[in-house]
Amino acid sequence: MIDTKFRDPLIWKRFGIHHLSPAHFNSYLCYNSDWVMNYGFKCNFMANLPMIVGDVVEKSGIVFAEQRPNNPDTVYDYAEALFDAKVEKKDKDGAVLPQTEEEKEKRKTLRPLIDKVVDVVQQSGNYKGTQKKVVISLSELFGEEDLPDMIGYTDYSFEKDRFPLTVDIKVPKKQSSEMSFGYWLQGIFYYQGQDYNKEKGDVEFHQILSRKKTDKKTKKVTYSADTNRFSIREYMDEHPDEDWKERLHSVISSMKATLSRCQTWQEVAEMHPPNPDDWVWKNEEKLNARRKIWRF
């Protein structure tokens, strides 16, 4: 028997989903508990240190792209001040608490990371701006009237050798040997949403990875950074038979099928119990949210 609720045009509205995004799909596929907490129960968690560093590096790259200062200290100072503001904590009397040892160490990694993001900006052509809104009408793409639009915003837009280029900066813990599904999904969205096939454009992901080295004799610690690049156009050239529409539609269909079987986000949560051994529960905020939603 056909599940008629699967074709219910109110599914998305019922769950408060007014648009979709690459981050939404990636969370659904790869971080199911986070998907339920963030998109279902609207939990707003404080950014952890790696997230703060990534945000500082991205924003520092924008400062360099827009101002092109001759003195690198301008960008360094901006980055360190932004980092300090984001990690600042106060005691009950309002006095600023000293940074933790972990925060101090993360701060030391900033300058090499900033040097790399500046290199990426300098090598990417003429800067055209940031936070460009990209929209794909999924209802038009797949001929299903009930589908919400897919919306996202770019990190950086450039023109290189007369062709458009979108650049996305990532600051992961580990270097990837190949393009992840999350990168692919975000990249193909920017590529197709901006009609880069006709424009002969590209979408690049630049991983910037922090390195720490301790001299065996002197015990002196130094920090550096490496970069790793992925290109959507190169990926498509290497996978000519891959149907991006089919891959995207399979994700949409999976999410729609999940929601169609439920009336509330609590029911969705009960269908997707969390893994209690997952490292994400080291975050106290998330652990408390888990206990509230799943009751363990």
> Which domains are seen in the chain, by residue range?
1-41+125-262 (3.90.320)
CA angle 249, 230, 109 (to 5 degrees): 120
Q: Which residues pair with 207 in a beta bridge?
A: 170, 228
| Confidence check: pLDDT of 203 > 50 | yes
Cα(151)–Cα(134) distance, rounded to whole angstroms? 6
The per-residue pLDDT for 3 is 45
Q: What is the pTM of this model?
A: 0.91
More confident residue, 198 or 52: 52
* Per-residue confidence band for 92, with pLDDT thresholds at 50, 70 and 90: very high
| Averaged pLDDT, 2-29 | 81
The per-residue pLDDT for 151 is 98
Tell me the per-residue pLDDT of 115-128, one tens digit each, with 9 for 90 and over: 999 999 999 999 99
Give residue 21's identity as a one-letter amino acid code: S
Q: Where are the alpha helices (DSSP H) in the chain?
A: 11-14, 22-30, 32-35, 49-67, 73-87, 101-108, 110-123, 138-142, 181-193, 196-199, 232-238, 244-260, 265-271, 284-294
The per-residue pLDDT for 10 is 82
| Confidence check: pLDDT of 5 > 80 | no
The per-residue pLDDT for 2 is 38
* Per-residue confidence band for 198, with pLDDT thresholds at 50, 70 and 90: confident
The per-residue pLDDT for 101 is 96
Tell me the per-residue pLDDT of 21-42, one tens digit each, with 9 for 90 and over: 999 999 999 999 999 999 999 9
| Confidence check: pLDDT of 259 > 90 | yes
Tell me the per-residue pLDDT of 44-71, one tens digit each, with 9 for 90 and over: 999 999 999 999 999 999 999 999 999 9
The per-residue pLDDT for 199 is 81
The per-residue pLDDT for 8 is 62
Cα dihedral across residues 28, 33, 37, 40: positive or negative: positive
Mean pLDDT of the chain: 94
Cα(35)–Cα(280) distance, rounded to whole angstroms? 13
